[in-house]
A and B are shown apart, each in its own frame.
Chain A
Amino acid sequence: MNDNATEIENGFHISKLFQAQYGLIWVTLIMMAVFAIASPTFRTPGNLLEILRQSGLLAIMVIGLTWIAATGEIDVSYGDIAAFTGVMTAVFLKAGLSWPVTFVLAVGLGSIFGVFSGILVVYFKFPALIATLAVGSGLAKSIARWVSGGAVIHISNPPGVVYQIVYGTFYGIPILFIITLAIYLICREFQDKTTLGQHLYALGENRQATQEAGINERRILMSLYVFSALLASIAGVLLTAMVASGNPNIGGSFFLDGLTVVFLGAMIIKAGQPNVIGTLIGVIILSILGNGLTLMGEYFFVGNIVKGILLVFGVVVVMLARKRNQVEGKFVVA
């Protein structure tokens, strides 16, 4: 009785997804074409590699967000945690600590914010938005400003090894990108081949079934929030190495980008669910966009509009995919 109606519905939704995926590829190609024509600098191989290099930073920052979004929660603190860690890095370096020690300390401190967010969300049942908003925008950013006196802390150029990591190339490919790729491949293993990945997606799709299966959702969520802060912190350290300064206010610039790439990535692979490889591809697309826009000079702010549209587009597709999975034949009243 029900089958025909839902089949058509399913068919419609599935084809929409395909269109979205291909549409995205078309959009990207057109975008690249436009930029290539508009600016000769864009066409150079050096520029294209630069795009890859810059992708690395954002990509590392939002792996945690990808998985948190997959469970149906949210995390808006990654940008500010990265900024905080960046500031602490600068502070420690100026105090004379070595890079390795600084790295460990700064990342450790940054991760504590993740513990805090996790506790608020999991044990005190805060709405995820409120908890991460308070922890990121409220606590992390303010402490970062406090430590730095509100200003940017400049440091001397990083030593050889560190410089190589952020600016060096290996047979022409930026080392930072290679590192990013490595991290992503490792995470992909976690996502597809361990209980963490399996259960977090289960949690996102059907919380009740996951609870009934006896899966410890608290452990998963807590781990994800800490993990997210950890990676955002690493990104923060790399950022400071890249620009030789710690900036407590930089968090805001990553906010929109982070969410956009996660939802774009959800469109691409795994049919509507956030996933790491999708996010990586999303970052590359966004970097192309960003790179091209910088070359467009004064109209840089169009980027916000384009990203906003992409984000909404991504949300629509994810929602359609989720609807497809709903119980067929059930009529939703509200």
Chain B
Amino acid sequence: METTKLRMQGIQKEFAGIKALDGVNFELQHGEVHALLGINGAGKSTLIKILSGVYKKDAGLIQLDGKSIEINNPQDAINNGIATVYQDPQMIPSFTGYENIYLGTETEKKGLFPRINKRKIRKKAEALLERFPVNIDLTQPVSELSAVEKEIIAVLRALSKEMTVLILDEPTSILTETETEVLFRLIHVLKERNVAIIYITHRLEEIYQIADRLTILRNGNNVATLSTNDDETKNHLAVAELMIGKKLDKIYPEKSASVGNEFFTADNFALEGSFQNISFKLHRGEILGIFGLVGSGVEELGKSLFGVIPKTSGIIRMNGEELSINSASEAIHNGIFLVPGDRRHEGQINDEPIYFNVSLSNLKRISDATGLIQHKKEKRFVQELADQVQLAARSISQEVSLLSGGNQQKVVISKGLFTESQVYIFAEPTVGVDVGAKTGIYHLIRKLAEQGKAIIIISSDCEEVFGMCDQAMVLYKGRVTLQKSVHECRLEEMLLCGVTGGKTSE
């Protein structure tokens, strides 16, 4: 009998000239929990999306139970018994657990609007629970359930469709310690029932609790496949090194030799439920890099500093003077600008031209006393900025939606530059940007610092933060787990503090 449930061999995937996966192999045994590790851009997400039918592979082989299969769309994946559960799964809040599990599959009957029997569905759900026992009340409306219970329901949903390969994409990033335990208990049950699981996570310590093997990807290549029983694997630092690789690509500009006065400080900045005890002293010409993964609170930190979401406590000072910032316009008025992380939803206005987007943040600079926009002035300023950031576009009258990711990001950055602020916060500055454009953006940021601005970079890309910052800070589940000058720490150390909260070994 074939012991390998799933085999992926030589998988290639390219996006607009960039190789996301370069001959990656992956193997999954029956009833195994196999973790997939790698930093940003390593290729984990691409591999999974190929398996779940969201992307189509360019080349390579996929075998399920020994038979070659083709997965061209999500339906193919489902038909082959492959299900994916993402973070924060979509549910119908007022429906009960069992109604959510069987949403869309309530009945076998055909017809326009067939009858459904809720009692029968509940019985089916109970039977499902007998096969996969976990402590959960399926009669509660899902809105009353905790995060882990919602994930469990998503898993049960997949199981109700007789899935045999389950992909869990960062399931624990939003869970507490106890909730994670609950999830693990379910995973053990699944293993016993011979469901094979691919488990994507950043959290090293969890892998040892739950996985049998782990595969590390880096830059679209396999680095290693290890068993969690081996002693050498238990050294987190070693694993982190494997994830990162020894040399740091020369894409980051030189760090600053000296910095100016203390300019922007935070004291015990906190937002209940997201982060606490954030304090820093930022100097002119200095870059503070804050590394943290999803759920660490970094995202909220940036927005809170900018005034777009509230804070619970803490004081922000600029040049010694306390600032009260309750809205983005107040922040901009005080000389602070946030380049947001999700540019599609937060950063750009898609149907409008480049110049519209750029000038929006500081319209009074290009309008006269009556409010009339001085279009020539606007074009001049925007063109200058476009040249400064090396924007590649036909003209600044082009709609932003037509640009590539890197150029879109440059437009948002230009919007920030247009405000002539003193403090710049960059959230995920290079997400969705190809390597070539990344370097450009990094140099831009460093140049800003050299002009005497105070910069904060917030990112879930550890390498990026390490490569760019002068001061380093790492957040894990809302708390600062590392804070020192970048010259005093190592990249692996930073990564560990972000993925494990500081534990260096099992």
Q: Residues on A close to B: CB < 8 A?
A: 1-3, 5, 190, 193-196, 198-199, 201-202, 205-206, 208-210, 212-215, 219, 223, 271, 273, 324-327, 329, 331, 333
B68 within 8 Å of A (CB atoms): no
Q: Hey, which chain B residues are within 8 Å of A326, CB to CB?
A: 93
Task: Tell whether, in the assembled complex, residue B303 and residue A271 are in contact, meaning their CB atoms are under 8 Å apart.
Answer: no
Closest to B90 in A: A209
**Known A212-B90, A215-B103: A333·B116 in contact at CB below 8 Å:** no
Secondary structure class of chain A's binding surface, majority of residues: helix
Closest to B114 in A: A195
Q: Hey, which chain A residues are within 8 Å of B105, CB to CB?
A: 213
What sequence of 0s and 1s flags, for each residue 74-100 of chain B, a beta carbon within 8 Å of any chain A beta carbon? 000000000000001011111100010
Q: A205-B94, A325-B143, A333-B346 are in contact. List 14 more A-B contacts (CB 8 A).
A: A1-B273, A193-B116, A195-B116, A198-B99, A199-B104, A201-B94, A201-B95, A205-B93, A205-B95, A214-B104, A215-B104, A324-B143, A329-B273, A331-B303
- A121, B346: Cα distance in complex, Å: 28
Task: Tell whether, in the assembled complex, residue B115 and residue A193 are in contact, meaning their CB atoms are under 8 Å apart.
Answer: yes
Task: Output the least CB separation between A168 and chain B (Å).
Answer: 33
What sequence of 0s and 1s flags, for each residue 297-316 of chain B, a beta carbon within 8 Å of any chain A beta carbon? 00010010000111000000
Task: Tell whether, in the assembled complex, residue B94 and residue A271 are in contact, meaning their CB atoms are under 8 Å apart.
Answer: yes
B112 within 8 Å of A (CB atoms): yes
Closest to B297 in A: A1
Closest to A331 in B: B309
Q: Hey, which chain B residues are within 8 Å of A212, CB to CB?
A: 90
Q: Hey, which chain B residues are within 8 Å of A333, CB to CB?
A: 303, 308-309, 346
**Known A195-B106, A213-B103, A333-B309: A206·B113 in contact at CB below 8 Å:** no
Q: Hey, which chain A residues are within 8 Å of B303, CB to CB?
A: 331, 333
Q: Hey, which chain B residues are within 8 Å of A271, CB to CB?
A: 94
Find the residue from B90, B146, B478 having the highest chain A CB count within 10 A. Answer: B90
Give the interface size class of chain B.
20 to 34
Which of the residues B93, B116, B300 comes within 8 Å of A325, measured between beta carbons?
B93
- A273, B309: Cα distance in complex, Å: 29
**Known A202-B103, A215-B104, A333-B308: A209·B92 in contact at CB below 8 Å:** yes
Q: Hey, which chain B residues are within 8 Å of A327, CB to CB?
A: 88
- A2, B94: Cα distance in complex, Å: 20
Interface hits, B98-142 → A, CB 8 Å: 99, 103-107, 112-118
Closest to A334 in B: B308
Task: Output the least CB separation between B466 and chain A (Å).
Answer: 27
Q: Hey, which chain A residues are within 8 Å of B300, CB to CB?
A: 331
Task: Tell whether, in the assembled complex, residue A190 and residue B272 are in contact, meaning their CB atoms are under 8 Å apart.
Answer: no
Task: Tell whether, in the assembled complex, residue A194 and residue B94 are in contact, meaning their CB atoms are under 8 Å apart.
Answer: no
Q: Hey, which chain A residues are within 8 Å of B91, CB to CB?
A: 206, 209
Q: Hey, which chain A residues are within 8 Å of B107, CB to CB?
A: 195
B235 within 8 Å of A (CB atoms): no
Which of the residues A1, A195, A196, A206 comes within 8 Å of B93, measured between beta carbons?
A206
Q: Hey, which chain A residues are within 8 Å of B93, CB to CB?
A: 205-206, 325-326
Task: Tell whether, in the assembled complex, residue A198 and residue B116 are in contact, meaning their CB atoms are under 8 Å apart.
Answer: yes
Task: Tell whether, in the assembled complex, residue A202 and residue B273 are in contact, meaning their CB atoms are under 8 Å apart.
Answer: no
- A219, B112: Cα distance in complex, Å: 9
- A326, B142: Cα distance in complex, Å: 11
Task: Tell whether, in the assembled complex, residue A5 and residue B94 are in contact, meaning their CB atoms are under 8 Å apart.
Answer: no
- A246, B99: Cα distance in complex, Å: 46
Closest to A211 in B: B90
Task: Output the least CB separation between B476 and chain A (Å).
Answer: 13
B374 within 8 Å of A (CB atoms): no
- A48, B425: Cα distance in complex, Å: 67
B176 within 8 Å of A (CB atoms): yes
Q: Which are the 4 A-B pairs with shortest beta-carbon distances?
A: A213-B104, A325-B93, A209-B90, A196-B113
**Known A193-B115, A205-B94, A215-B104: A5·B88 in contact at CB below 8 Å:** no
- A194, B116: Cα distance in complex, Å: 5
- A326, B88: Cα distance in complex, Å: 12
Q: Hey, which chain B residues are within 8 Å of A324, CB to CB?
A: 143
- A209, B90: Cα distance in complex, Å: 5
Q: Hey, which chain B residues are within 8 Å of A2, CB to CB?
A: 273
Task: Tell whether, in the assembled complex, residue B113 and residue A195 are in contact, meaning their CB atoms are under 8 Å apart.
Answer: yes
- A5, B271: Cα distance in complex, Å: 12
- A206, B103: Cα distance in complex, Å: 12
Interface hits, B313-363 → A, CB 8 Å: 346
Q: Return 8 A-B CB contacts under 8 Å, by A number.
A: A193-B118, A194-B115, A198-B99, A202-B95, A209-B90, A223-B112, A223-B113, A324-B143
- A193, B309: Cα distance in complex, Å: 42
Task: Tell whether, in the assembled complex, residue A206 and residue B116 are in contact, meaning their CB atoms are under 8 Å apart.
Answer: no
Interface hits, B243-278 → A, CB 8 Å: 272-274
Closest to A190 in B: B113
